[in-house]
A and B are shown apart, each in its own frame.
Chain A
Amino acid sequence: MLDAFIQGLLLVLQWKAFLFMLGGIFVGFWVGLLPGLGGATTLALMLPFIYNMQPVEAFAFLLGMHSVVATTGDITSILFGVPGEATTAAIILDGHAMAKKGEAGRALGAALASSLIGALLGAAALALAIPIVRPLVLTFGSPELFMLAIVGLAFIASLSAQGARGMVRGFLAGGLGLFLAMVGQDPQAGVARYTLDTLYLWQGLDLVPVLVGLFAIPEIIDLVVRGTSIAGNAPTGRINRGALEGVKDVFRNFGLTIRCGLIGTFIGITPGLGGAVAQWMAYGHATQTARTPEERKGFGQGDVRGVIGPGAACNSKEGGALIPTIAFGVPGSTSMAILLGGFFLLGLVPGPDMLTKHLPVTFSLVWTIVLANIITVAACFLLLNRLTALTAIQGHLLVPVVLVLVFIGSYTSNSSYADIIVTIVFGAVGYFMVVAGWPRAPLVLGLVLGKIAENYLYISVARYDFAWLGRPVVVVLLIIAVGVILFPAVQAWRARRA
C-alpha cells in the first residue's frame, strides 16, 4: 500500500503528467474565476482532449483543473458578490460583506487558506478510505454492483431537487438518462435499439457531445441574455494587504476549519448531495459557533468565520466525492459523473480494479488534488492584485470562444457532424431542464450508469436467476434505496406535524 502511495506521487511528478496537471490548473484557474463557465461544463469540454493521454496524465489534467475551480471561484464571489461557481455562493454572504467593508484582502486570505486546508483534508480522507473500502469492494459481485448503481441513482434523483415534486423530476431525469443509455446495439443479442435507422447511433450516444450540449449551451444562452460584462462593475485597487491577516484568522479558528472540512468530505462521499449543499451546511455550522445573539448577528455582515467554513467545505468535498466514484463507480456529483465518463474513455472501470491493479493511479489522484491546490493557492497569493481585472471580461468576447470550443469538443469525439447535432439537441434539452427546474445531474448519471446497470443486471439474472435478490448486501442496498426515496416524504410529513 505504501509502495503504491509513493508510486502515485512519482507518477504525478513525471514531467508529462506534471505538465498536463499545470495545464489543467491553468484552465481551472480561469474557469473558477469567470462566473460564465462552470467547473462541470469545463470538465465536459475538456473530455475530448484526453483520448490520446495515458490515464495518469488525463487525470492529472482533469482533476488538476477541477480541484482548483472552487478555490478561484471564491475570489469572484468575495470581490463581486457574483458566485464564480455554484458551489461558492455561500461565501458571498460574509466574504463580499467584508470586501465592501474594505477587508477584501483578509477575506481572500481566509478563503484561500481554508480552501487549501479543506482540500488537503479531503485528499487525506480519500487516501485513508482506500484500505478500508478495498476489502469491502472486493466482496461485491454483479448483483451488488447493479444495486449500487440503483442506490446512486436513487440518491442523486431524490436529493438533487426539493420536495416530492422535485423527486419525481429527479427520477424522470434519471430515467431519461437510463433510456438514452440503451440507444445503440444491444450487447446481449445484438439488436439495434432506438437507432432511428442511422449508422451513427449503432454505437450508442457518445457521452462527450451529450455532456457538452447539456451543460455548455444553457450557460452560453445565459451569458447572451445577461448581455453585460461577466462580473459587472468591479471595485479595483490593491487587495493583498490584509491577506496575511486572513491566513492568521484560519489558524485562530483551526477547529472550525477542520470541522467544516470534515462536513465537506462527508457530503462529498454521500452521492447526490454535491458541493452546493456542503458549503451551506458548513456555513450553518460556522454560524453555530457564535456564543451570543449579538455575535450571531455579525454573520452576513462580514464575519470571517462565515468565509472560513464554506471555504474549507467546498474544497474538501472533492476528495470525498472521489471515494464512491473510484470504489463503486457511483459518482457523488455532476462533476464526478463527468469524471466517471473520463474513466470509461480511458478504458478504466471504477471498482475493484482501481483498488488493486490500478492502485498507483488511484493514489496519483490523491496527489493531484494535493499538488494542484498548493500550486493554485500560491499562485493566487502572488496574483491577487491582478486577478480583479480579469473578471471584467465582456460576455460577448467569451461567447464566440466558448462556442468554438463546444463545437470542436463535440466534433472531435467521433469526427462526425452528427456529434454537433447531438450537442445542439442536448443543449436544448439542458436549457429546457434548467428553465423547468429539473435537475440535470440524474440524467448524466443515468446515461453513465445505464449500460453498466444493464450488464450487471443481465449477468446477475443469467448467473443466479432471481436468487440474487436475496443476497444480504443486495437486500441492504435495496433498503437503502427505498429509504433514500422515502426520506424526503418522511421529512416533509415531520415538518407538517411540527
Chain B
Amino acid sequence: MTRHASLGLALAIMALSAWGIYSALDWPLKSKLFPLVIAIPLFCLATAEALWVILGKNSAASASDFKLSEDQEPAVARRRTLLAAAWTVGFFLLILLVGFPIAVPVMVFTYLKVQGKESWIFSAIFTGAVWLFFYGLFELLLHLHFPDGWLFGGFGGF
C-alpha cells in the first residue's frame, strides 16, 4: 500500500509538473520564471521517486508526521477507509442538494444510526444538540448565510 501510494503520488506530481512546464512556456518571462524554476526540479524529483519505487528500492523512510493506526486487518481497514470516504463525499452531495441547515442534522442522525448503531432516542438527542450548536454558533451568533441547496434554491453556490 505504501509503495502504491508513493508511486501514485510521484506519478501525479510528474503529470502536474509536466503540465505546469508546458503551460508556462507561453507566458511572458515575468510570469513563467518562478513556475519553471519550481516545476522543472519538481518533475525531476518526482521521476526519481517513481523510479525508486518501480525498481523496488523502497527504503523504510518514515515522515515525522501523523501515522495511521495498524491495529485492524488490512481488508477491514480498507473497507472502513472506503466507508469513511463514502460518508465524506455523501455528506458533500447532501449539502449540495439540500443545503447545510438540513444536511447537518440528516448526516449526524444517519451516521449515528447506521454507523454508530445508536438508539433512536440517543441519536435524536445528539443530533438536536449538534444542530443547536450549528444554528446557535453559525446562524445566530456569526450570521453566516448558508444557501438552501440545489433542490430548494436552484443551482448556485459555486
Which residues in A have some Cβ–Cβ distance to B below 8 Å?
38, 49, 52, 86, 159-166, 168-172, 175-176, 178-179, 182, 186, 188-189, 191, 193-194, 200, 215, 217-227, 274, 276-277, 394, 396-397, 399-401, 403-404, 407-408, 411-412, 415-418, 420-421, 424, 427-429, 432-441, 453-454, 457-458, 461
Q: A182 contacts B63, CB within 8 Å?
A: no
* A162 and B61 within 8 A (CB): yes
Asked whether, in the complex, the Cβ of A179 is within 8 Å of the Cβ of B8, the reply is no
- Give which listed residue, B1, B5, B61, B112, contacts A165 with CB less than 8 A: B61
The contact size tier of chain B is 35 or more
Asked whether B5 lies within 8 Å of A227 as measured between CB atoms, the reply is no
Shortest C-beta distance, B25 to chain A (Å), equals 12
Minimum CB–CB distance from A178 to chain B (whole Å) comes to 5
A171 neighbours in B (Cβ, 8 Å): 45
A189-B31 in contact (CB<8A): yes
Chosen A-B contacts, 9 in total, with CB atoms closer than 8 Å, are A160-B64, A189-B31, A218-B66, A407-B100, A408-B138, A415-B144, A417-B157, A435-B1, A437-B61
Chain A residues with CB under 8 Å of B148's CB are: none
Residues of B near A418 (CB, < 8 A) are 158
The CA-CA distance from A473 to B7 in the complex, in Å, is 39
- A399 to B46, alpha carbons, bound, how many Å? 34
B65 touches A441 (CB 8 A): yes
20 further A-B contacts with Cβ under 8 Å, apart from A162-B64, A172-B42, A412-B144, are A160-B64, A161-B62, A166-B62, A171-B45, A172-B46, A175-B41, A186-B30, A193-B23, A221-B68, A224-B83, A225-B84, A394-B116, A411-B100, A412-B138, A416-B157, A420-B92, A424-B92, A432-B9, A433-B65, A441-B64
Return chain A residues, CB-CB under 8 Å to B124. Answer: none
Contacts of A182 in B (CB 8 A): 20, 34-35, 38
Bound Cα distance A134, B8 (Å)? 45
Knowing A161-B62, A169-B61, A439-B64, the reply to whether A396 touches B111 (Cβ < 8 A) is yes
Would you list which residues of chain B between 135 and 154 have a CB under 8 Å from chain A?
A: 138, 142, 144-146
Query: Considering residues A226, A428, A429, which has the most beta carbons from chain B within 10 angstroms of its beta carbon?
Result: A226
Q: How far is the CA of A200 from the CA of B157 in the complex (A)?
A: 11
Instruction: Kindly identify which residue among A160, A172, A407, A415 contacts B91, using a CB–CB cutoff of 8 Å.
Output: A407
A42–chain B nearest beta-carbon distance, Å: 13
Contact flag A191-B116 (CB < 8 Å), given A169-B49, A179-B38:
no
Contact of B28 among A166, A172, A189 (CB under 8 A): A189
| Least distance between B35 CB and chain A CB atoms (Å) | 5
Known: A175-B42, A179-B38, A417-B157. A186 touches B91 (CB 8 A): no
| Cα A434 to Cα B27 with chains together (Å) | 35
Once the chains are docked, how many angstroms separate the CA of A161 from the CA of B67? 13
Q: Judging by beta carbons under 8 Å apart, are A396 and B115 in contact? A: yes
Across the interface, do A168 and B45 meet the contact criterion of CB distance under 8 Å? yes
> Which residues of chain A come closer than 8 Å to B80, judged between CB atoms?
224-225, 227
| Any A CB within 8 A of the CB of B108 | yes
Among B77, B87, B88, B134, the one with the most A-chain Cβ atoms within 10 Å of its Cβ is B88
Q: Are B68 and A417 in contact (CB under 8 A)?
A: no
Q: How far is the CA of A273 from the CA of B146 in the complex (A)?
A: 41
CB closest residue in chain A, given B8: A432
A411 vs B63: C-alpha distance when bound (angstroms): 30
Task: Using CB atoms, name the residue of chain A closest to B83.
Answer: A224
Say yes or no: A191-B84 contact (C-beta < 8 A), given A179-B17, A408-B100: no
| Residues of chain B within 8 A of A49, CB atoms compared | 142
When each residue 33-45 of chain B gets 1 if its CB lies under 8 Å from chain A and 0 otherwise, what string results?
Answer: 1110011011001
The B interface, classified by DSSP as helix, strand, loop or mixed, is helix
Known: A169-B49, A225-B72, A404-B134. A397 touches B112 (CB 8 A): yes
Given known pairs A189-B31, A194-B23, the reply for A440 and B65 (CB within 8 Å) is yes
Q: Determine which of B10, B108, B145 lies in contact with A172 in the assembled complex, contact meaning CB atoms within 8 Å.
A: B10
Name which residue of chain B comes closest to A223, CB basis.
B84
Which A residues are CB-close (under 8 A) to B17? 175, 179
Q: Which residues of B contact A438 (CB under 8 A)?
A: 6, 9, 63
User: Are B45's CB and A194's CB within 8 A?
Assistant: no
Inter-chain contacts of B158 with A (CB < 8 A): 200, 416-418
A175 near B38 with CB under 8 A, answer yes
Residues of A within 8 A of B39 (CB): 179
CA–CA, A454 and B30, complex, Å = 10
B residues less than 8 Å from A412 (CB atoms):
138, 144
Is B48's CB within 8 Å of the partner chain A? Answer: yes
**Known contacts A169-B61, A397-B116, A397-B126; A403/B145 CB under 8 A:** no
Which residues of chain B are near A429, meaning CB under 8 Å? Answer: 9
B88 touching A427, Cβ below 8 Å: yes
How far is it, in angstroms, between the C-alpha of A439 and the C-alpha of B111 when the chains are bound?
A: 31
Once bound together, how far apart are the Cα atoms of A160 and B65, in whole Å?
Answer: 8
- Asked whether B59 lies within 8 Å of A165 as measured between CB atoms, the reply is yes
Q: Which 5 A-B pairs have the closest CB atoms?
A: A396-B116, A166-B61, A436-B5, A439-B63, A224-B84
The yes or no answer to B85 lying at the interface (CB within 8 A) is: yes
A8 shortest CB reach to chain B, Å: 28
Contact assessment for A436 and B2 in the assembled complex, using a CB-CB cutoff below 8 Å: yes
B14 to chain A, nearest CB (A): 10
* B20, B30, B84: residue with the most chain A Cβ atoms closer than 10 Å: B84
Whether B89 is near chain A, meaning CB under 8 Å from some CB there, is: yes
B98 within 8 A of A: no
A435 touches B100 (CB 8 A): no
Which of chain B's residues have a CB closer than 8 A to the CB of A189? 27-28, 30-31
- Which residue of the partner chain, among A163, A403, A420, A441, contacts B107 with CB atoms under 8 Å? A403
Chain B residues with CB below 8 A from A159, complex form:
64
For the complex, give the distance between the alpha carbons of A394 and B146 in Å: 29
Partner of B72, one of A38, A226, A432: A226
Neighbouring B residues of A276 by C-beta, 8 Å? 64
B108 touches A400 (CB 8 A): yes
Quick check: B49 and A172 within 8 Å, CB to CB?
A: yes
Could you tell me the distance between the alpha carbons of A394 and B5 in the complex, rounded to whole angstroms? Answer: 29
